[in-house]
Amino acid sequence: MEKLVSSRLPSQWGEYTIEAFGNEGDRFPHVVLHRGLGDEKTGEPVNVRVHSECMTGDVFASSRCDCGEQLAMALQHFKEQGGVLIYLRQEGRGIGLVEKLRAYNRQDDGMDTFEANRAGGHADDERNYDDALTILKALGIDNITLLTNNPEKIGHLEKAGIQVSRRPCLTKVTADNGDYLRAKSEITGHLM
């Protein structure tokens, strides 16, 4: 995996540098947005959000999850304080969009998000954070304040030698996402 291209991206959250990381010819590479980065050798932690793609939440503002809200929260934080968004192309906790939509149907029949994945033949979480580590190393970042509620993500990065402090990404509980957030807290230990 390598940096394929870099460009300027003005947005409602300020101006960012956007970079695509992947292999030449990838139609859907990982994306990195960063704002306010300089020489990262200062030793000061860099604000980082490692965000897994969620088309339903990020693009269509689904209220079934808190993904879109976490993404917007991170970008607003970076507008004010600078930081890096690593947008990993691993939809549906790594199972892809079609399987995620099938899992939605099972959730509508009473399963929690993890039971729905298992019923479709998947693990609770099939994501991998190795590409995020590669990107952090390419950016020269090894000390971060990670905007997350996911202890597995923290552990994966720390195990690879990244110094991590956590900033919570607390979102609103609604009638549509309450069971989802409760399952994440109770089953996978998300820090809510």
Beta bridge partners of 19: 6, 32
Helices (H), the chain: 67-81, 97-108, 113-119, 130-138, 151-159, 178-188
Catalytic residues: 125, 127
Task: Tell me phi and psi for residue 114, to 5 degrees.
Answer: -80, -40
Q: Under DSSP, is residue 79 helix (H, G, I), strand (E, B) or coil?
A: helix
- Report how far residue 166's alpha carbon sits from residue 78's, in angstroms, rounded to the nearest whole number: 15
- Report how far residue 19's alpha carbon sits from residue 126's, in angstroms, rounded to the nearest whole number: 25
Nearest of 83, 120, 131, 117 to residue 71 by alpha carbon: 83
